[in-house]
Copies of this chain bind each other. A is one copy, B any other.
């Protein structure tokens, strides 16, 4: 069977280990496991969402409204855009797939930061595109400018705040870069963690409407997976010009989010208070990680997200440390696969973080 040649270069995404697997493979009791690996909101989602879903469990047999009318109405009000400016994806992740598939042909170039969301690469490579990368951990827009002029890529991803590093760009700097970009180049601004960044510092906020009005070649993407605490429900969105959205809609499969996901996302939009509470708590707990890092003499990246990237010393190896933590029931993300001697830790609840500090110290032999 002759599959496409482009498949040869594709590595599949390696997801954070689920709790079930640690139970299975490491024999740790479920109650002793804490998962700080996938940037889930440790407070879960809004209680209103849980209540709503409990009420409509009987609807699982019904396909969702494939126009996603109610959800688009909510997002349209929230962001001041038209419903025709919105496409819904199974996570913002799926909107990257739509973009890649609608736009990229073999040999096309895609510009990304060296440390960035792994799916940009995977979706691009599925279309046979070539990745152009900066050489920095945090986003460096001067490098973006230089590489853009040198390679004239068809697509650029700016992930702000950035995953898995945690840094965030100022809006003014992003706009300065965008001014240098040709209107025929598409630029995706991935704001999966934007709610966190803008809470911490207003100057980080990039608003979808302002972005696409100012730069019609841009697409803004957002998600219900992080601040809204619905990672398991796979719902995100992209906001762009009607022309872009119409092209992306051609790649969208019908019913691409579930009936319960649709209801959950709609209900989540009704409880912004929960989101603010969760973000506020996240940054309070983040402070404890920063203090912990300082006390134990290792570096970290100043984070605008719900996770912190701890840069380990040369005496430690991120893969060994991650494995040792895993054996004690603490799941974190080893960034070794990004050629970084670092681990990414999701900010958990107070109790989870207490446990992380305790077990991490044990692993460090302190």
B residues near A24, Cβ cutoff 8 Å: 69
Residues of chain A at interface, number, CB under 8 A? 77
Of listed A20, A24, A94, A250, residue having the most chain B CB within 10 A: A250
Q: Is the CB of A244 within 8 A of B20?
A: no
Q: Is the CB of B44 within 8 A of A12?
A: no
B residues near A70, Cβ cutoff 8 Å: 20
The stretch of A1-9, A75-83, A356-364 in contact with B is: A1-9
List residues 53-93 of chain A with CB under 8 A from any CB of chain B: 53-54, 57-67, 69-70, 90-91, 93
> CA of A231 to CA of B231 in the docked complex: distance in angstroms?
21
Distance in Å from the Cβ of A211 to the closest Cβ of chain B? Answer: 16
> CA of A91 to CA of B49 in the docked complex: distance in angstroms?
24
Q: Is the CB of A61 within 8 A of B229?
A: yes
A97 at the B interface (CB under 8 A): yes
Taking CB as reference atom, which chain B residue is nearest A260?
Answer: B260
List residues 1-56 of chain A with CB under 8 A from any CB of chain B: 1-4, 7, 10, 12-13, 15-16, 18-21, 24, 35, 38, 40-41, 43-45, 49-50, 53-54
Taking CB as reference atom, which chain B residue is nearest A93?
Answer: B253
Q: Is the CB of B40 within 8 A of A50?
A: no
A205 at the B interface (CB under 8 A): no
Of listed A10, A50, A66, A70, residue having the most chain B CB within 10 A: A66
Taking CB as reference atom, which chain B residue is nearest A50?
Answer: B57
Distance in Å from the Cβ of A358 to the closest Cβ of chain B? Answer: 23
Taking CB as reference atom, which chain B residue is nearest A154?
Answer: B2
7 contacts between A and B (CB under 8 A): A2-B103, A61-B231, A63-B231, A93-B255, A119-B253, A233-B260, A258-B261
Could you tell me which A residues sit within 8 Å of B by CB distance?
1-4, 7, 10, 12-13, 15-16, 18-21, 24, 35, 38, 40-41, 43-45, 49-50, 53-54, 57-67, 69-70, 90-91, 93-94, 97, 101-103, 105, 119, 126, 154, 184, 186, 217, 229-234, 243-244, 247, 249-261, 264
Q: Return the 7 tightest CB-CB contacts between A and B, nearest first.
A: A232-B259, A15-B66, A18-B65, A61-B229, A13-B254, A44-B61, A10-B250
